[in-house]
Structures are given as structure tokens and as C-alpha cells.
Structure 1
């Protein structure tokens, strides 16, 4: 019953995603992935209950479905952290799944009784093919978990260059997905099949709970995790080394002259002082760049080189300065401190407290006492 419940839940969650309002391509990818997991669990249940004697080909096909877990994870994470439109090149990731099944063409075209007999003799006659399938599952899981971690790590590291508030950008959802698949693959390497499929069933239950209760993946309009595209002003090779190079080295291939940098910085300073765009809690680098009529990459370079800060730090510093200026006025006493913070562009108490202490060295309550 446990497996059947997980199968039903997998298809139910896929149905919620397909019928979801304003669904994204990432939602459809997750729906197909959930359906594949549901079929995989169903085939294992049929094997456990002896129903392979009725549906031998379906059960056998289910044995190869774990190969697609990794590609679906990778593509889903990529779509959630990148504004790129869906590309048919993603289908290339499923070639190993097709090749794996081609190895068993002789099984699929064999007479019904022969297919059942192969099951009864634990894959007799297909020992080498089954070994290849097993190693394909091992390699696929390990490679795609590493690639998915890499994508999320790079995205998280660069997000402060693009957003002024990061609280609502839910990294945990993607991070937990990757960790779950990593755990399942660790089990694949070291424990028996029943424990593995038990973990997959628990994964589906967790995914349903966390996706609905915590981040509303299944019942809210699609949320952009990635924001707008911001292309790197440096080569990809240099970007990989950005942790160990100076700011000057990072932007050495930029076409901006020092005069351009000074001009953009002057206009930025004037804009922040007079128009105060930072009071918009959802302000992004792209939006600020549009106000200045410059490319987001160049604006990011100017902020980094002239202010020695990233976009997130600069905007939140301006919000704190605005907050301190407002509370210094007697008429502000009729408002709560938190409402003033929200008016300055903060979208949560946690974000305000953290940035306030970073900027002033004390908490808001300590500052008020002094």
C-alpha cells in the first residue's frame, strides 16, 4: 500500500503541475519527471507482487527509468535558475535512456512467455546488458547531481549582483531536491533495492508536502527564480576564477573607459539621491540599469569598482540611510519602526535587522536606546 500511495501521489502532483495556472516550462519538466518516478515505482510494485507475469515489458521498462532522474533534475534546476527558453538540445540528455532500452530490444520483441521466463530466471541471457544498465544508472546519478550542485552554487553566488532582496528567492527548494537525489544515489550504490525504492517513495511524499506547504510549487503561479538575464562582462573562463582575482582583473575585458565609469557613477549617485528607486522592495539590477540607460553588466562593474560593493549591498545600504534619516525627524514617531523600514524598501523584518546591524554595528532596538 505504501508504494501504491506514492505512485498515486506522484501522478497527482504531476496533474497539479499540468493544470496549474500560469505554469512555466520548469513546471512541465517537473510534471514529466514525477510521472517517470510514478511509473518507476509502479513497475517495482508489480515486480514485488508478481504482476510481471501480466505486464513483463512495462515492468522491464520501469527498470531503466532511474537513468532519467539525473537529466530531469539537471534540466529542472537549470530552468529554475536561468531565463533561457527551453531548447530541444536538452533532449540529448535522454540518449543514454534510449540506448539502454535498445540493448533490450531482443527482450521486448520476444514472445510473451519467453519474457515472463526471463523474469523468473532473474534476467538470464541479459547479464551483460543488465550490468551496462546498472553502471549507466550509477554514472548518470553522480554526474547530474554534481552538475546540478554546480549550477545552483554559481547562481547563488551571483544573485546578490542582481537582486536587492533575496529572501523570497527560495534556494532551499532546489537545494533539497539535489540533496534528496544525492541520498537516493548513495543508497543505489550501497544498499538493496527495497530500501532504495522505499527512499524514492519517501522522496515523493516529502516533495508533495514541501512543494505545497512550504514553497507552493504546485498551487501558485510560476515564480521566476532566475530573474532577467544578466550576461557576464567577462569570459566564462575568467568567471570561474572570480573568487581569486581582483576587481580590476575581473573587468579587464570590459569596453568601459574610466570616463564612462565616472559618468555612470555620477548619474547613479544622483538617481539614488533624488529619485530613491531603492524604496521599491523588488528593485533589480536590470531595472536600475534601465533607469540609467546603461547595460546591467556595466552598471554592475561601476558599482563593484566605485563603491567596492555588490548591487545588493549598495541598495540595502541606501535603504538604511533613508531609514536613519526618516527616524531622525519628530513626525516619524507616529509610525512603527518596522513600517518605516518597509517604506524604505525592506520586505521583511529579518532582512531589515540583518542589514541594519551590518551597516550600523548595532540592532535597531539598541540604536533606538542610544
Structure 2
């Protein structure tokens, strides 16, 4: 029942993703991954119930499917944390799966009775191929979990340079997903009982289903946040305050450029207050100033001794303090005013308020 429940949930989630509107590349990757897990669990269930006598080739194919877990994990994490379009070159990650199945080509082409006989004798004729499959799964799992963790770590480390609100893009759920896969691979490496391993996979599917219900962004998350990162590769050209300064274009910023951009930055922040947009990105602010996002980030770091995230949220706190000092704001709650100033969650507001003021909003309110 555990296996069948996992199979049902995997296929059900696959169906939900296929019927979802405005599907992203990440949705298609997750869809393929869930379907693969569902088929893998189904083939193991058929093997346990001795139905290999009816579906020997299908079951063997299922035994090679764990070679796809690592590539799917890597591609999913990469797509969720990068705006770069899917490339056909990335299909090379599935090459080990293809090679593994080609090594069993003689099995697939053998007569039906012979294939059943091979299963009955535990694949004695394919000991080398089965060993190749096993170590391929080991190596694939370890490598792709490590690479996925590195990609996620790098993204989470750098996102404060590009985004003013990080609650919706911190990808904690993605970290949990990688940890889950890592634990399953730990079982593969240190446990010889296939039932325990596939049982863990079934529980993983159930957990993912529950998580998908509780955390909608797993299946409905938009990549609109990543336009900032994508535009980092594009130079925004403008004659405003930059002119044709070759040193600015080729050798980096001069001190005069830095001072000019910083001056215009403070002017825009104080007069136009773009920080009230809860999803303000470095790219959007750089477009207002008509400078390259990398240059703007450099100016913020050097002149303000802050990253983009810290600067924008500091401005939001300053705007909040200004608003609560106005008599007409007394009819509103602190949180309502905080949302008006650009914060998108109570947690984000409380954390940044305490960092800037040294006390919590509640403690500050008691002093008024």
C-alpha cells in the first residue's frame, strides 16, 4: 500500500502540473521527475509481487530510472535559480541513463521466456551490467546532490545583491528537497535493503505532495523575480551623466562616476521612493538611474557600505518611521504601514526593524 500510494501521488502531481496554466520550464522538469519516480516505484512494486513474469523489460527499465534522479534534481534547481533558457546541451546529463540501457540491449532483444528466466536467476548473465548500473547510481547521486547544493548556496549568498525582499525566493523548500534526496542516497549507499530505500522514496513523494499543498510556490512559482539576474549580462546605455567616457565603459568606474551615480541614487530614493514596491530589484533601480546593474551594485557597496537588500530595507524603515510620526497614520496598525512602505511580510518587517533600530516594533510602540 505504501508503494501504491506513492505511485498514485506521483502520477496525480504529474497530472496537476500538466494541467497547470502558464507552465514554466521548471514545471516541465518537475513533471518529468515526478513521473519518473512514479514509474520507478511502480516497477519495484511489480517486482516485489513477482509480476516480472509478465513485464520483464518494463521492470528492468524501471531499475535504471534512479540514474535520472540526479539530473532532474540538478536541472530543477538550476532552472529555479537562474533565468537562463533550457538548452539542448543539458540533455547530455541523461546520457548515463541511455548508456546503461544500451548495455542491457541484449536483454531487451532476447525472447520473452529468456528474459523471464534471467529475472528468475537474479540476472546472473548480466552481473557486470548490473554492477555498472549500481555504481552509476551511487556516483550520479553523490555528484548531483553536491552540485545542486552548491548552486543553491551560491544563489542564496548573492541574492541580497539583487533583491529587496528575499522571503519568497530564499528557496528553503528547495534546500529541504535536496536534503531529502541526499538522505535517500545515503540509504542507497549504506543500506542493502531495497524495500527500505524504495519505502523512503514513497514517503518522499508523500512529503512532496503535502509540501506542494502547504507551499503553493513549489508548483505555481513565477520566474519573474529573475529578470534582474538575466539583465546583468546586458549593458544599459544612456548619455545621462555617463556620456562617452571610455574609462567608464572599459576600465570600470572613475571616482567622479561613482559620486555622480551615488548622488542620483539618493535623489531617486528620496524623491521617487521606488522602495515602496515590495518586489523592487537591482535591475529595476538601475533602469531608473540608467546605469549598468553591476555598476550600481558597486556604488552601493562602496559608498553605503551595504548591499542592495540592506539599503532598500533601511529606506523602508526610514519611510515607516516618517509615516508613523504623522497624525493621520495613528488609525492604522504598524503592519499595515509597513506594507505600505514596501515590506511584504511581518517577518521581514520585524527582522529589518530590529536590525535598524535595535529593538522590536512592539518594544518601540510601547515607548511612544
TM-score, structure 2 normalization: 0.92
Instruction: Report the counterpart of residue 319 of structure 1 in structure 2.
Output: 316
Summarize the Cα distance change of 1:69–1:23 in structure 2 as closer, same or farther, 3 Å threshold: same
Kept in 2: contact 1:230–1:297 (CA 8 A): no
Kept in 2: contact 1:277–1:288 (CA 8 A): yes
Summarize the Cα distance change of 1:259–1:230 in structure 2 as closer, same or farther, 3 Å threshold: farther
Deviation at 1:232, TM superposition (A): 6.8
Instruction: Report the counterpart of residue 265 of structure 1 in structure 2.
Output: 262
Distance in structure 1 (CA, Å) of the matches to 2:52 and 2:62: 11
Kept in 2: contact 1:264–1:302 (CA 8 A): yes
Kept in 2: contact 1:26–1:76 (CA 8 A): yes
Moved more, 124-133 or 136-145: 124-133
Structure with the largest fraction of helix: 2
Deviation at 1:8, TM superposition (A): 1.6
- Which residues in structure 2 correspond to 1:299-318 (within 5 Å)? 299-318=296-315
Distance in structure 2 (CA, Å) of the matches to 1:225 and 1:61: 39
Deviation at 1:176, TM superposition (A): 1.2
- Which residues in structure 2 correspond to 1:56-71 (within 5 Å)? 56-71=56-71
Deviation at 1:168, TM superposition (A): 1.7
Instruction: Report the counterpart of residue 246 of structure 2 in structure 1.
Output: none
Q: Which runs of 5+ in 2 are unaligned?
A: 234-249
Distance in structure 1 (CA, Å) of the matches to 2:22 and 2:100: 35
Instruction: Report the counterpart of residue 243 of structure 1 in structure 2.
Output: none
Instruction: Report the counterpart of residue 293 of structure 1 in structure 2.
Output: 290
Name which of 330, 340, 345 aligns with 2:342: 345
Deviation at 1:254, TM superposition (A): 6.0
Kept in 1: contact 2:83–2:226 (CA 8 A): yes
Kept in 2: contact 1:23–1:221 (CA 8 A): no
Distance in structure 2 (CA, Å) of the matches to 1:99 and 1:91: 13
Distance in structure 2 (CA, Å) of the matches to 1:301 and 1:254: 14
Root-mean-square deviation (CA), in Å?
A: 1.6
Moved more, 59-68 or 205-214: 205-214
- Residues 104-126 of structure 1: CA deviation (Å, up to 9, x unaligned): 11111111111111100000111
1:98 has 2:98 as partner: yes
1:45 has 2:45 as partner: yes
Instruction: Report the counterpart of residue 141 of structure 1 in structure 2.
Output: 141
Deviation at 1:365, TM superposition (A): 2.4
- Residues 306-343 of structure 1: CA deviation (Å, up to 9, x unaligned): 10000000001011111112222333222222221111
- Which residues in structure 2 correspond to 1:14-163 (within 5 Å)? 14-163=14-163
Deviation at 1:226, TM superposition (A): 3.7
- Which residues in structure 2 correspond to 1:228-267 (within 5 Å)? 228-230=228-230, 255-267=252-264
Summarize the Cα distance change of 1:205–1:51 in structure 2 as closer, same or farther, 3 Å threshold: same
Distance in structure 2 (CA, Å) of the matches to 1:359 and 1:54: 68
Distance in structure 1 (CA, Å) of the matches to 2:10 and 2:96: 24
Deviation at 1:367, TM superposition (A): 2.0
TM-score, structure 1 normalization: 0.91
Instruction: Report the counterpart of residue 165 of structure 1 in structure 2.
Output: 165
Q: Which runs of 5+ in 1 are unaligned?
A: 234-252
Instruction: Report the counterpart of residue 239 of structure 2 in structure 1.
Output: none
Deviation at 1:213, TM superposition (A): 2.1
Distance in structure 1 (CA, Å) of the matches to 2:132 and 2:253: 54
Distance in structure 2 (CA, Å) of the matches to 1:72 and 1:368: 49
Deviation at 1:295, TM superposition (A): 1.1
Kept in 2: contact 1:184–1:200 (CA 8 A): yes
The runs of 4+ residues in structure 1 deviating greater than 6 Å are none
Summarize the Cα distance change of 1:329–1:254 in structure 2 as closer, same or farther, 3 Å threshold: farther
Deviation at 1:50, TM superposition (A): 0.8
- Residues 157-209 of structure 1: CA deviation (Å, up to 9, x unaligned): 01111111111225122111101110110000111100000000001111111
Deviation at 1:16, TM superposition (A): 0.8
